Amino acid sequence: MDTIGKATRLIGLNMSKEKQGGENAIPAGGTVSSDAGFSDARGLLRIIREGFPAATVAFIVDSGRLSPVEVDRVVLPRKTLANRRKVGTLTAEQSDRLLRVARIIAAADEVFGHAEKADAWLRRATSALSGEKPLDLLDTEEGAREVETLLTRIGHGIAA
């Protein structure tokens, strides 16, 4: 499965079996919403623009990959999340931020081979990022790009 497929799985979205192939597809019981399925990049863009179900935030928190404090810091403030839960969906911008964070977590999982190692690395300050924790940079697109670049370098064995 590619990084974006893993990222959507982290937030409970259903990538259909046509593109992911039987065993890698998310089972219906493991999704946030059965109508949130998509089979390609265009479908994902549509869902982002429409806004992810607000439950996608709870899905990633419940999985233990992000804490509520981290969501508050890099995705959306708690008070805003409470309001979005009443509406039922996130905005396109909030959905995009959530997917960005999930994509970086999925990329770290691939590079480090284990969720535990990836989670530790994301939360540890690194000199390659001027002493910042990678997770703390994910509140902006530019910060996420820096983290992705570093993950690519690590993945290719280039000293970070």
- The arithmetic mean of pLDDT across residues 7-27, rounded, is 60
Encode pLDDT of 113-129 as tens digits: 999 999 999 999 999 99
Report residue 39 CA to chain centroid gap.
18
Tell me if the pTM is above 0.75: yes
pLDDT band at 79 (very low <50, low <70, confident <90, very high): very high
Q: Does residue 103 carry a pLDDT above 60?
A: yes
